């Protein structure tokens, strides 16, 4: 994955958003991701390590290799992992499409929010599959921006979310990929494919999610593409400001926000 295909960019604020997202969604997405002691795990596309810390913390006895194409992201990931006192992770700069490992190197492979940024996710899965031992597992987690629902409804907010979908598509990615995981993983040659939808539902009775997800994860993600949206003329400044304000409005006392992630597991 070339660095320029990451639609959200590599700013300090984006790093903070990724950390907020990982912390907020830990139980929802990762409570059932645990690997046995001694098992070899490849985390493909670790980014700044937001998921790595959770992955390694859940499986302290596993031997984890985390790769990413971005040298800067790897530096941040290693710093986060070391600060957390985690010692079972090795980092390596590598491209998912040109992997430096021999066949059957790993018992398990883990990808989280990676395939959405790739122009050919099926090919990426095909490159990863030989690295698994026979009977080994792959876990894939992706979102789907088309699953976004909120109250009060607002046309400008919906248009702002659609801008994210459009920009990611223009960059060769697919932010609607969550709904496609079953066929993608099946066509790549894996068996026993199982998809588990994980809905985030937020209202004012869940203040931690109002802050951690509606504001700091989702709305911050959309807000982060504002300069590009305006530069490309996808929305006017007034439309954009109204859309972002409407997304923040869903975090108020009578607001509601829903979003669905999809978690897939399969076996070689």
Tell how strand 191-203 and strand 256-267 pair up.
Answer: antiparallel
The predicted model scores a pTM of: 0.90
Instruction: Tell me the C-alpha distance between 67 and 73, whole Å.
Output: 10
Model pLDDT, residue 2:
41
Model pLDDT, residue 16:
57
Q: Are 143 and 197 in contact (CB under 8 A)?
A: no
**Number of residues in the chain:** 268
Give average pLDDT by consecutive 10-residue segment, the chain, 268 residues.
Answer: 46 54 80 96 95 95 97 94 96 96 98 95 97 98 97 98 96 97 98 98 96 94 96 98 98 98 98
Q: Domains in the chain, start-ordered, CATH in brackets?
A: 3-267 (3.40.50.150)
Per-residue pLDDT tens for 164-189? 999 999 999 999 999 999 999 999 99
Model pLDDT, residue 5:
52
């Amino acid at each position: 994955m070339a660095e320029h295909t990451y639609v959200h960019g590599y700013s300090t604020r984006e790093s903070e958003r990724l950390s907020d997202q990982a912390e907020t969604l830990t139980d929802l997405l990762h409570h059932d991701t645990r690997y046995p002691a001694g098992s070899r795990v490849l985390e493909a596309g670790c980014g700044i390590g937001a998921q790595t810390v959770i992955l390694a913390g859940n499986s302290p006895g596993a031997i984890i290799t985390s790769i990413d194409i971005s040298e800067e992201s790897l530096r941040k990931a290693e710093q986060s992992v070391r600060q957390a006192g985690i010692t079972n992770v090795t980092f390596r700069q590598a491209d998912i499409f040109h992997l430096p490992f021999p066949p059957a190197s790993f018992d398990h492979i883990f990808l989280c929010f990676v395939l959405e940024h790739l122009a050919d996710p099926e090919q990426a899965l095909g490159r990863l599959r030989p690295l698994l031992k026979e009977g080994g597992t792959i876990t894939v987690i992706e979102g789907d921006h088309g699953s976004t629902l909120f109250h009060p409804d607002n046309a400008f907010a919906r248009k702002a979310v659609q801008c994210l979908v459009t920009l990611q598509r223009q960059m060769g990615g697919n932010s609607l990929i969550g709904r496609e995981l079953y066929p993608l993983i099946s066509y790549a040659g894996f068996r026993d494919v199982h998809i588990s939808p994980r809905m985030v539902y937020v209202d004012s009775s869940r203040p931690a999610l109002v802050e951690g997800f509606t504001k700091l994860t989702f709305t911050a993600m959309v807000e982060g593409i504002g300069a590009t949206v305006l530069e490309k003329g996808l929305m006017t400044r007034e439309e954009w400001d109204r859309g972002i304000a409407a997304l923040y409005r869903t975090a108020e006392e009578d607001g509601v926000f829903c979003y669905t992630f999809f978690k897939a597991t399969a076996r070689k």
